[in-house]
Amino acid sequence: MGKNRPIKFRILELYLDGEEHWNYEIVPKIQEEYGMKDNFHRDSINFDILELASGGMLKDVEQKVDEEGIYKKGFLLHKYVITDFGRVRGSDACIRYM
């Protein structure tokens, strides 16, 4: 799929494997793929994940404190998993690649 599809599609696609992923794993991956290296875009991608979660497509399953500064030192890290609704919306949107 890569960088020619909207960012939220790509995020959903990454979660469609059904595994739980931390936001600090997903965000840098998207930044890398779309060539969006700065902190502003990092937060913007993280906000996309927040929106997907508030839309009921991802579920926040675990949180931990970023002690070492792997993502944003002193802030919370979140781990998400795709929901049934997210699976339906995600596979609908990504259908031609499945």
Partner 1 sequence: MDLKALKAQESKRKISKGYMWALFCAVFWGIWYLPGTVVWVLNPFDEMYGEIAGASGDAVSLVVTAVLITAFNALTVMLALMLWNGVLGKFGELGRTLKEFHPCSKWFFLASIFGGPVAILGSFMAMGFIGGAFAAVAALLYPVIGSVLAYYWYGEKISKRAATGIIIIILGGITIFGGGVITELAAGGVPWIGYLGGLMAAAGWGIEGAIAGKGLDISEPDVGLTLRFLGENIIWWIIIVPILAIVGYPMYSFAFQAFEPLTLLVLIFAGITFGFCYVCWYKSFPLIGVGRGQGIGNLYGLCAIIFIFLFFGDVPAWTILVGGTLCVIGSFVMFTEETAALETLRGE
Footprint on this chain of partner 1 (rule: CB under 8 A): 4-9, 12, 34, 36, 40-41, 44, 47-48, 50-57, 63-65, 74-76, 83-85, 89-90, 92-93
Complex with partner 1: residue 12 or 26, whichever CB lies closer: 12
The Cα 61–Cα 47 span in angstroms is 17
Complex with partner 1: residue 17 or 95, whichever CB lies closer: 95
The Cα 45–Cα 35 span in angstroms is 12
* Least CB distance to partner 1 at residue 19 (A): 19
